[in-house]
Every structure is written in C-alpha cells, then in structure tokens.
Amino acid sequence: MRLKSVLPAGLAALSACAIAFASMPAAGQADMAQQQPAIADDGREILFLTPEQRTHVREEMRMFITGVQALTAALAEEDRAAIAQAASSMGRPGRMNGQMGQGHGHGQGNGMGRGMGHGGGQGMHQGQGMGGMMASMPAPFHTLGRGTRISFEEIAAMSDPAEMQDIQRAFADTLQNCVTCHSSYTARDAQ
C-alpha cells in the first residue's frame, strides 16, 4: 500500500524533472554549437581572434616567413652558422640558443611573444595571454605550432654535424606543418 502512495508522488517529481530537462536543450545545444568548430566555405576551420590576438598571429607569421627566407638563403650558401641561427629563431620562445628571450610580447610577460618577460610565465602557456588565446584555440592548432617550433630547433641542432641534404629534407618536412596548418585553419574577427 505504501508503494501505491509513493508511486504517484515519485512520478510527479520525475515528470517535473523531465519537463525541466526538456526545456534545457536550447542552452545545451548552444553549448554544443560553441564546441563544434565553425567551418569556412573553403572547408577550413575558423579561428575567431580578438584584435590583439590577430596582431600577434600576424607578427608570428611575419617572423616565420622571415625565418624561412633566412634559412633558405643559408642553405643555398651552405652556411651552417646562419642555418643554426635562422632555424633557432623559429624555435620555441625562450629556447633560442639555450637562453631565455627578452620578453618581446604584448605586455610584460603577459603576451605570447618570445620569452617570459617580467611576468614570470603568465603568458600563453597558461592560457592568460592574448585574452586566453591558448585556451580558446583547438588542440590540433597548438600541436602543429609546437611541432613546427620543435622541428626548427632540431634543424638548428643538426646544422653542424648533418649533411646539407639531410638538413634540406628536415626543412621540407617542417614546412609541411606550415602547409597543413594554413590548409586547415583560417582566421576571422571575434564577435
């Protein structure tokens, strides 16, 4: 008998939960939509950037194209010291020639520039710089970027003992990361 009296109350509570849950999918769907990447007409994933992030990304791209030009010229001349210098300039921030950078970022150590600056590491590696750019970008984007920088460090390290042809192959392989990234992502202004 007790079960009969509890059952209607339990069903009423369950119904109330179901009604409340049924009204929630709009919010849940909005969250899911934010998790799904936006895709451009050309099939690339759209990275939405703030003006500060966009400026940083453009500075990084100019740094890379300048480094690629310097590395290409150094390879043509078979200048091992210039190869090492050009390749290490495109390595991970703070790791060029085994020394910390000088904090050339947006804000003293709070940006994504080269080196830690005065902020003691409060930059992109903790998702704080550029309005949390590290936290807001997709993991494969970071993987490509980190892999590219590590590959340039490896080219710098192999610049003296390796054969020029091996250095050129490593450079070509590294540039494939650039092709993959630019084929996979495009940037738009954040709204």
| pLDDT tens sequence across 62-105 | 999 999 999 999 999 999 999 999 999 999 988 755 433 333 33
Which tens digits make up the pLDDT trace of 128-166? 455 577 788 999 999 999 999 999 999 999 999 999 999
Between CA 140 and CA 180, with CA 132 as vertex, the angle to 5 degrees is: 25
pTM here is: 0.66
Those residues with Cβ within 8 angstroms of residue 48's Cβ, 6 or more apart along the chain or in another chain: 38, 136, 187, 188, 189, 190, 191
Mean pLDDT, residues 52-59:
94
**Nearest of 187, 188, 184 to residue 143 by alpha carbon:** 184
H helical segments located in 36-163: 51-77, 80-88, 129-136, 139-158
Q: Copy the structure tokens of residue 170.
A: 């490593």
CATH number for the domain whose boundaries are 38-189: 1.20.120
